[in-house]
A = this chain, B = another copy of it.
Amino acid sequence: MASIEDLQRKVSELEAKLAAVQGNAGPVRQKIDVMSSEVVDSNPYSRLMALKRMGIVDNYEKIRELSVAVVGVGGVGSVTAEMLTRCGIGKLILYDYDKVELANMNRLFFQPHQAGLSKVDAAAATLQSINPDVTIEAHNYNITTMDNFQKFCDSISKGSLSGGPVDLVLSCVDNFEARMAINTACNELNQRWFESGVSENAVSGHIQFIVPGETACFACAPPLVVASKIDEKTLKREGVCAASLPTTMGIVAGFLVQNTLKFLLGFGNVSHYLGYSALTDFFPTMGLKPNPQCEDSYCRTRQTEVKARPAIVEVATEVTEDEKPIHEENQWGISLVDENSPEEETPNLNLVDGVQVAYSIPVDNSTPESSTGGAVAASELSLEELMQQMKSM
């Protein structure tokens, strides 16, 4: 016969199983009006508010007023959304048009019982039960079609809790077209965003912070890859099932959200580019200036606006030579390593050791075309060809 201890153990196991299976069906926690620092087991914000007491963040509660758009709710995007939800972000806007499959189970977040559900709906339900204080908006469509692109632009330009633009867009998509769509939208809307990516062989990844006109946009410079002693060409074959790991994707999501928090809450230094090579635990960082010949006309417009900004040095009464406030409006502490003049014809990538461009766009200045887009650098590769090359990224 079973002992009391055995039975108590059985009860505890069954309760845990039931809770796991019930998922969203069980009682979730109530909404909380004001973030509290009170150190009690029932306060889901005590360990976040402790960042104030630790001297890391001045005003953690500010996070409740902020809105972030997460485009792509796959291996990186779902974990990104979960981290922001647990941090108590004010509003999350999710975009995806894919369904959960068992083939996604080698990444964090989705569970087998969600197979067949739309990723945004499944994610929104889980996230809302994790933190009912977050406003979650789910968009179940492909942002790259003409109609949806306009809906996407509208939703990020009016998506904040007060009806204004979101505070940040995070790209967690897995293909070139979607990245280009986000880039186009953010240049036009003058919207700051982070690009992220994981290589097809699952052992490298990166995040990149893009401030229109101030840093290289996605069209200014070819995407970077962290070299891992593997011929990148072997990674771009068509129809090949990409490898993925929950580790690499979780780390890239962690870097993305950590830098998002640093940017939104104003602590530490935001990395402009942070790479990760899993095989050697190598983490290159760098800065990238925008390309004056960028094919995106809004990027060039933003560059002109940035150049026209009145520098603080003009109104300051005393500035020492050592303290040139070149990026005086650069509140997030990025330092651009490229010291070349902005009049240069091609972007100087200044790549650190171990980082390569994923592909090159040769610039042909010999036969300037009378294109409608202004000074667009002619590319030897058509957009179609580039897309072909990038489709598996």
**Interface 9-mer from A2-10, A336-344, A361-369:** A2-10
Q: Which residues of B contact A301 (CB under 8 A)?
A: none
A-side interface size class? 35 or more
In chain A, positions 82-118 with a C-beta closer than 8 Å to chain B are 82-83, 86-88, 101-103, 105-108, 111-115, 117-118
Contact of B12 with A10 in the complex, beta carbons under 8 Å: no
Is there an interface contact between A285 and B281, defined as CB atoms closer than 8 Å? yes
Beyond A108-B83, A130-B111, A202-B51, is A17–B125 a contact (Cβ under 8 Å)?
A: yes
A355: interface (CB < 8 Å): no
Name the residue on B nearest A243 (C-beta): B50
* Contact residues in B for A230 (Cβ distance below 8 Å): 54-55
Give chain B residues whose Cβ lies under 8 Å from the Cβ of A122: 16, 19-20
Given A26-B113, A113-B19, A122-B16, verify A201-B251 contact (CB < 8 Å). Answer: no
Instruction: State whether B279 touches A267 (Cβ < 8 A).
Output: yes
Q: How far is the CA of A259 from the CA of B15 in the complex (A)?
A: 34
Q: Quick one: CB contact mask for A145-170 with B, threshold 8 Å, 1 for yes?
A: 00000000000000000000000000
A283 at the interface (CB under 8 A from B): yes
Known: A19-B114, A254-B248, A280-B268. A103 touches B40 (CB 8 A): yes
A71 CB–B CB distance under 8 Å? no
When chains A and B are docked, how far (Å) is the Cα of A262 from the Cα of B130? 32
Point out the residue from B16, B54, B130 that lies within 8 Å of A125, measured CB to CB.
B16
Report how far A279 CA is from B278 CA in the complex, Å: 21
**Residue contact A102 to B43, C-beta cutoff 8 Å:** yes
Q: Is A326 on the interface with B (CB-CB < 8 A)?
A: no
A245 at the interface (CB under 8 A from B): yes
B residues near A125, Cβ cutoff 8 Å:
13, 16-17, 19-21
- For the complex, is A319 an interface residue (Cβ under 8 Å from B)? no
Instruction: Give complex CA distance A113, B1 in Å.
Output: 32
Neighbouring B residues of A45 by C-beta, 8 Å: 106
CA distance A26 to B26 in the complex (A): 16
Docked pose: A242 CA to B49 CA in angstroms: 10
Nearest CB in chain B: distance from A391 CB, A: 16
Partner of A246, one of B15, B51, B235, B257: B257
What 0/1 pattern do residues 263 to 300 of A give for CB contact below 8 A with B? 00001110100100011110101000000000000000
A117 proximity list for chain B (CB < 8 A) = 12, 15-16, 19
CA distance A79 to B251 in the complex (A): 11
- A56 adjacent to chain B (CB < 8 Å): yes
A327 sits at the interface (CB 8 A): no
In the bound assembly, the distance between CA atoms of A19 and B18 in angstroms comes to 9
Q: A308 at interface (Cβ–Cβ under 8 A)?
A: no
A57 → chain B closest CB, angstroms: 9
With most chain B CB atoms within 10 A of its CB, the pick from A54, A101, A248, A253 is: A54
Give the 10 A-B CB pairs with smallest separation, nearest first: A268-B279, A50-B243, A7-B7, A26-B113, A251-B254, A14-B14, A16-B121, A41-B101, A20-B125, A44-B105
10 other A-B residue contacts (CB within 8 Å) besides A14-B15, A15-B121 = A29-B105, A41-B103, A47-B103, A51-B245, A56-B203, A56-B243, A83-B108, A248-B254, A251-B254, A268-B278
Identify 28 residue pairs between A and B in the complex whose beta-carbon atoms are under 8 Å apart, listed by A's number: A7-B8, A12-B140, A16-B125, A19-B117, A22-B113, A41-B103, A42-B102, A45-B106, A47-B103, A53-B240, A53-B243, A54-B200, A54-B201, A55-B234, A56-B201, A56-B202, A83-B108, A86-B106, A86-B246, A87-B106, A111-B130, A203-B268, A247-B261, A248-B258, A250-B251, A258-B278, A262-B278, A271-B281
